[in-house]
Structure 1
Amino acid sequence: MSRNSYEHDIPVTADVEAESWAAALTPRLAQFAAVARHEHVTRAAQEMGVPQSTLSRAMVRLEEDLGVALFARRGRTVALTPAGRTFLHSVERALAEVDRAAESVRADADPAAGLVSFGFLHTLGTETVPGLIRSFRVDHPRVRFQLVQNYGEAMLERMRAGGLDLCLTSPVPDAPDLVARRLDEQRLRLVVPDDHRLAGRRRVRLAEAASELFVTLEPGYGLRRITDALCAEAGFTPRIAFEGEEAETLRGLVAAGLGVALLPPPAVPRPGVAELTVTAPRAVREIGVAWLDGHPDTPPVAAFKKFLLSRRGQLLT
């Protein structure tokens, strides 16, 4: 093609719509950058390992699609036009961003130093999860964790949206899009103020608290659903004095005399309360790990999943 042919407007290819520019142009962007860098089609073709004729046709098609002359031909060499120079700056930024994205996902999938996005309940954050990560890192010291602490339903929705690889939750979910495995169970205690009528007892039937005000987690929290179910099994509907978002806040409100609560054991004993074993009904919550069904695991996620499953019955010890 002669130099003079670039002195006229290049028609825009009719089948390239504005919304499809990325799909139409992306395969040729790296080729364009190579030609621009070498200012020579033959050398660019050699670098990319493609025939010179293929590369030449790709550049002509690129210009036709854009409707803009990107190169001025001078014998065997080419030079960028002002439009080509402007286009090159954006192309180089786009290619650099693709490189960064590729390096990021490759790094996250690295078996030795990749990333695990892991969610867990607030009540497991003081001792259980730090202990799990510490034990896992004995054999995988460079694996990185992105941690999310939340209530069960929020974590499951985040996992469905692609924001988590695995989560520890309770109750163990039963949903067609998830795989869940029970890992352990945790006994719940009736927590009462230390001057309460039941405080001198070590064991209690839950029905004995039927007349009490309860402080509980908000609806939607797994522990709230378990509390409601256990009270129903004991023959009453709890009267709610306060609904919160964090178990230790509830324990503090019990100490202040606001009510009683069904809670898992604390990480450290809290003054001002008595914690009673519930003999009937059986007051436990199951802890499980969940992940998306059919979702492929990176090597670090697969390793951590295997580690968690190996801790069945020992998660809370």
Structure 2
Amino acid sequence: MTVDEAADGTEQSRYRPAELGPDLPAVQLAPRLAQFAAVARLEHVTQAAALLGMPQPTLSRAVARLEEELGVDLLARQGRTVRLTRAGRLLLASVERALAEVERGAEAARAEADPAVGRVAFGFLHTMGTDTVPALLRGFRAAHPQVRFQLVQDYVAAMLERLQDGELDLCLVSPLPDDPAFVARSLDEQRLHLVVPADHRLAGRRRIRLREVAEEPFVGLERGYGLRAITDGFCAEAGFVPRLAFEGEEAETLRGLVAAGLGVALLPPALVPRPGVVELEVTAPRTRRAIGLAWAAGRPLTPPVRAFRDFVLSRRGRLLQHD
């Protein structure tokens, strides 16, 4: 390090405030800051170079370059050792905090991918949340008891957007996306029933053709929900456009609206019989929806995500059966 000697014999930095350039981007400073911290901790360039696994001259040049870029002396040499200047102590305190934060971030990233205790961000349909998803989690956690889950219930379009953005790892969806941005695998089919009030004119029937209720008011999910698109498609196949009297966000709420006599609905089977409604099998068209698992194409899966994906795929054909 070169210093100038003042008239009174004291050392003076060769860097003048007028010579300071514009602020340097952190990305340019970062490698040399870590090298500076190693020298500052050990107060010895040769020992720091050995610790970092780099030649001592290379490390000396890196620290000198950092001083040149900042326009201040950070270290003062005393024989083979160095000591921090006041500016060096100020910088080291900030560098140590930054390096500690980086290490915390690195540890969090490692934990995220740890096969034993990593995290899976899993999205699924509202209608899967009562029974199907808890059964999947119970089965998976039997072999992976410490894997953590972030669970998200949402409609299909929103889940796929979050999947593409990397906020979710896997999604249980219906219908399956027809988009090269995603990989989707069909798992099972779920029958949709026509749900009518208990005092409805058709409540005594067991089966029905969907066109028989073409003039009835319907209650259904809001547009954007996968089930809404599917049920609209079945009605179109039966030759009519459903007249929506009420729209909601949750299947059990719709079942309650049906019980109140406000319309009929195409819904997945109720897990527990709901008073005030009757569920009829639809014989035409074939009102079944495919349920599958989707993930982003081309994005590597962490070990815990891959393990859960493989477990869910192993339930193909049995997804809706709960042991």
- Could you say whether these structures have the same fold, taking a TM-score greater than 0.5 normalized by the shorter chain as the test? yes
Aligned to 1:109: 113
Flag as ranges the 4+ runs of structure 1 deviating above 4 A.
10-14
Residues 118 and 6 of structure 1, relative CA distance in 2, 3 Å threshold: farther
Q: Aligned letter for 1:112? A: A
1:8 aligns with 2:18: no
Pick one of 280, 302, 311 that aligns with 1:298: 302
Partners of 1:221 and 1:131 in 2: CA distance? 23
Q: Displacement, 1:254?
A: 0.9
Find the residue that maps to 2:310 and give its secondary structure: helix
Pick one of 228, 235, 238 that aligns with 1:224: 228
1:240 aligns with 2:208: no
In the TM superposition, what whole-angstrom CA distance separates every residue of 1:133-173 from its partner, at most 9, and x where no partner exists?
11111222221111111111100000111101110000011
In the TM superposition, what whole-angstrom CA distance separates every residue of 1:149-203 from its partner, at most 9, and x where no partner exists?
1111100000111101110000011101111011001000111111111111111
Q: Displacement, 1:129?
A: 0.4
Partners of 2:230 and 2:116 in 1: CA distance? 39
Aligned runs of 1:9-158 on 2, under 5 Å? 9=15, 18=23, 21-158=25-162
Q: CA RMSD in A?
A: 1.7
Pick one of 291, 296, 313 that aligns with 1:309: 313
- Contact 2:2–2:14 (8 Å) recurs in 1: no
Give unmatched runs, 5+ long, in structure 2.
5-10
Partners of 1:248 and 1:231 in 2: CA distance? 21
Residues 69 and 98 of structure 1, relative CA distance in 2, 3 Å threshold: same
**Matched-pair identity in %:** 68
Partners of 1:12 and 1:285 in 2: CA distance? 71
Q: Displacement, 1:47?
A: 2.2
Pick one of 170, 175, 182 that aligns with 1:178: 182
Find the residue that maps to 2:25 and give its secondary structure: helix
- Contact 1:121–1:169 (8 Å) recurs in 2: yes
Aligned to 2:7: none
Q: Aligned letter for 2:13? A: E
Q: Aligned letter for 1:172? A: L
Q: Displacement, 1:6?
A: 5.2
Q: Aligned letter for 2:15? A: D
With the length of structure 2 as denominator, give the TM-score of the two structures.
0.93
Partners of 1:114 and 1:144 in 2: CA distance? 6
| Deviating more after overlay: 53-62 vs 30-39 | 30-39
Give unmatched runs, 5+ long, in structure 1.
none
Partners of 1:25 and 1:138 in 2: CA distance? 48
Partners of 1:128 and 1:299 in 2: CA distance? 23
Aligned to 1:271: 275
Partners of 1:211 and 1:204 in 2: CA distance? 14
- Contact 1:6–1:69 (8 Å) recurs in 2: no
Aligned to 1:166: 170
Q: Aligned letter for 1:296? A: P
Partners of 1:264 and 1:195 in 2: CA distance? 20
1:208 aligns with 2:230: no
Find the residue that maps to 1:308 and give its secondary structure: helix
Partners of 2:69 and 2:25 in 1: CA distance? 9
Find the residue that maps to 2:142 and give its secondary structure: helix
Q: Displacement, 1:8?
A: 2.7
Q: Displacement, 1:51?
A: 2.1
Q: Aligned letter for 1:138? A: A
With the length of structure 1 as denominator, give the TM-score of the two structures.
0.94
| Deviating more after overlay: 178-187 vs 48-57 | 48-57
Q: Displacement, 1:267?
A: 2.3
The number of residue pairs the alignment matches comes to 314
